[in-house]
Chain A
């Protein structure tokens, strides 16, 4: 039987390739060991299959409803989330001093991958709560933390992020929501928010919204935005949260996918104004929010990779079972039909999905482990190491988000194709996984924005290009000392890296001579080019480990051969695509720049 969520896929990456034990040796994660973390992953897998997977279709079919101004979720959602909370998954990533377990970020990402692969929309509520608690922990005053942190970490209150407004989605600089100081030190907020996930639901005791708004006289643009904590329910005289704050869900957005997670039009302070508390310093709200951005964007990449992986596992199981047709060399209708996995074109589709999904998972977990390595370095007082790890992390983050979601979606589409007509029906989950995955190139900064962030800010302005080149060169050097396939891939990767290096140099010149408009016009193919190169690097790393384990006779030989085949596929079928992207970057192909709006 084909395992829908094989832990081996994650363990191979986490333990064998990424050498997780290195971050467990000292510092914040020293209380953990590989075996204990493995038990946690096992439990997560079991719980994902028993609590999250069975209700995913129903949550998709029966969308959340607005009844008398209150959001009603599918009745199965609350108990499943409660099980997630009770097991300690919301508390786990937080520091032990606040009741958490100091779980490494990479391990928590693996845990989330297991839930996301079967029911991403449900996981979102918990993910937002974890992020909200993290935000409060880092930026909140002691007084605010004393009241609000524990219930968030314990999962009694859930959190949301209220950033966008109807006229200000990608452009947060144009936010209008107002916050007015009150004599008692609180604020009254008024404004309309858009795309707010989980702004209301019927299972947590309370909801804590983190809202971006402007103070009177705040500077225009991003430097005039402050962050506020706005609860759904305020405490009454006896300390019970029974008093309704002035916030209201004005409508539900009916989405293509991710239907189980309610996404709303959220009205703040329609009457007397909603009570809010300032988090962090005045006018530094966006800074506080962006403090979490690497992790949030890695989280989106992870979700995309997990959905691609979940779809792939489903398509694989189907292809092994479904009997259809006969080998092309044996067109004898009296012979029994064969499982479709016997057809090379079906295997090609499966390889494409596997190469993308497992490559993206690797990239996301590698990035997540950089978060952990950065924390370990900071705890050890090694600022230089923390800075160099941080620079590579900053550079890889837009790739982890955008590459995983753009190409992960291609894998999700491939899963439908393997199932044929059945894949296009709601009798199978692959169409839902595709619809769910279609969100990921859009939210948490569209992929177009990620591309500009990568090229303009991370690679050129912050010097991340050099950090990335060094990491790639290091992998090439190591790969060229390993087994035969690793050596071949190291050579191929080396050529791709040369292309990236020379194009990047060229683009640095474009920035000087033609300015940012021209530089960033073709940022998207640049992200694809660098993304494919980075994922080829990931596959080189997996190849090295697989070859070593095969030579040593350790590990499951079929699993390891599957890794080698996927690497071979990626290098033969995917990496050459970089030539096309390179062709529009040097010189910058100007059609998108020159075309007039009226011509389109």
Chain B
């Protein structure tokens, strides 16, 4: 079985995000990018399945420009066998559904039998793409999975469904599984892996190669329009109380009750 891992690059979680001058997006000029952390769990799970000889091959699927190659190579260095980069001028401005169409087409083209993806990307936090990919392919899906077992053509997945309740879902392959934190501990690359990854060819597929109608993806196919980007309002400064301890405690309780309304 071939496992496809959907991998997106996102700004490093400790970056300071600035809105670009036109208010149409993020100013990426000084941003340090990294693999979306949830996608790292998906990748690790795929690599573990390959180590256990359940999967024959792990292929990384990334929608992105050449600036995402470094992240793809990072995944290759950790042990992914192959990667394809999905890039076309027509993909620009894709909404979640557009991205899902591209990924679904790539998964089909590569003969993928299981798709693993992060439960969400930490940049826009939409959590939509894996579910949409599953719908487009007509495959079963389980989201927010933190434990996965495969047995022949079936899977068993564990997920937190909130309130301390844990779901155990079984189903058949092919399927889409989205990974949550706690599923595993992502491995480091090996130095040898870094060297090998440098030499791997990363094919680039455009809309034509994927058999996609350019009008179904990118800005042309988008059903979601982003109107404007703005920074959140600045946080008001904190207050430091002074005086005798008993009066400060009294004041603090009053403030917590009347102003912060947390008591």
A binding-site residues for B, Cβ under 8 Å: 1, 31-33, 35-36, 39-40, 43, 46-47, 83, 86-89, 91-92, 101, 103
Contact = CB atoms under 8 A, between A and B. Distances in A.
B73 A88 contact: no
Nearest to A99: B192
A92 B195 CA distance: 11
Contact of A40 (B14, B70, B73, B191): B191
Nearest to B69: A35
16 contacts: A32-B195, A33-B198, A36-B194, A36-B195, A39-B73, A39-B189, A43-B188, A83-B188, A86-B188, A86-B190, A87-B191, A88-B192, A91-B191, A92-B191, A101-B191, A101-B192
Contacts of A83: 188
A47 B191 CA distance: 12
Given A39-B74, A39-B77, A87 B190 contact: yes
A33 B194 CA distance: 11
Interface string B168-200: 000000000000000000001111101100100
A43 B194 contact: yes
A88 B190 contact: yes
Nearest to B190: A88
A46 B189 CA distance: 11
A46 B194 contact: no
A89 B198 contact: no
Nearest to A50: B188
Contacts of A89: 191
B80 to A, nearest CB: 15
A458 B74 CA distance: 45
Contacts of B192: 88, 91, 101
Given A1-B14, A35-B198, A101-B195, 17 more contacts: A32-B195, A36-B194, A36-B198, A39-B74, A39-B77, A39-B189, A39-B194, A40-B191, A40-B194, A43-B188, A47-B188, A87-B190, A88-B190, A88-B192, A89-B191, A91-B192, A101-B192
A362 to B, nearest CB: 24
A86 to B, nearest CB: 7
A92 B190 CA distance: 10
Contacts of B70: 35, 39
Interface string B218-246: 00000000000000000000000000000
Q: Range of interface residues on chain B?
A: 10 to 19
A444 to B, nearest CB: 26
Contacts of A32: 195
- Name the residue among B74, B190, B191 with the largest chain A CB count within 10 angstroms: B191
A31 B191 CA distance: 13
A49 to B, nearest CB: 12
Nearest to B191: A88
A133 to B, nearest CB: 16
A330 B190 CA distance: 55
Interface in B87-113: none
A39 B195 CA distance: 9
Contacts of A86: 188, 190
With most chain B CB atoms within 10 A of its CB, the pick from A1, A31, A43 is A43
A90 to B, nearest CB: 10
B260 to A, nearest CB: 23
Interface in B31-79: 70, 73-74, 77
Contacts of B190: 86-88
A106 to B, nearest CB: 15
A101 B194 CA distance: 11
The 9 lowest CB-CB distance pairs between A and B, nearest first, are A88-B191, A36-B198, A88-B190, A39-B194, A92-B191, A88-B192, A87-B188, A36-B194, A40-B194
Nearest to B77: A39
A40 B191 CA distance: 6
Contacts of B74: 39
Contacts of A1: 14
A46 B77 CA distance: 15
Nearest to A46: B188
Contacts of B188: 43, 46-47, 83, 86-87
B54 to A, nearest CB: 22
Contacts of A88: 190-192
A31 B194 contact: no
B167 to A, nearest CB: 32
Contacts of B77: 39
A103 B195 CA distance: 10
Contacts of A87: 188-191
Nearest to A336: B240
Contacts of A40: 191, 194
Contacts of A103: 191
B2 to A, nearest CB: 26
B75 to A, nearest CB: 12
B147 to A, nearest CB: 23
A43 B191 CA distance: 9
Nearest to A36: B198
A86 B74 CA distance: 17
Interface in B1-51: 14
Contacts of B198: 33, 35-36
Nearest to B194: A39
B115 to A, nearest CB: 27
Contacts of B14: 1
Nearest to B187: A86
A83, A86, A87, A103 interface centre (most CB from chain B within 10 Å):
A87
A83 B188 CA distance: 9
B195 A31 contact: yes
Looking at B74, B188, B195, the one whose CB has the most chain A CB atoms below 10 A away is B195
Contacts of B189: 39, 43, 87
B82 to A, nearest CB: 18
A5 to B, nearest CB: 14
Nearest to B73: A39
A101 B191 CA distance: 8
A86 B194 CA distance: 13
A101 to B, nearest CB: 6
B79 to A, nearest CB: 12
A165 B137 CA distance: 73
Contacts of A39: 70, 73-74, 77, 189, 194
B35 to A, nearest CB: 12
A100 B70 CA distance: 24
A36 B73 CA distance: 10
A86 B190 CA distance: 7
A335 to B, nearest CB: 13
B189 to A, nearest CB: 6
A46 B192 CA distance: 17
A108 B73 CA distance: 21
A101 B190 CA distance: 11
Nearest to A44: B191
Contacts of B73: 39
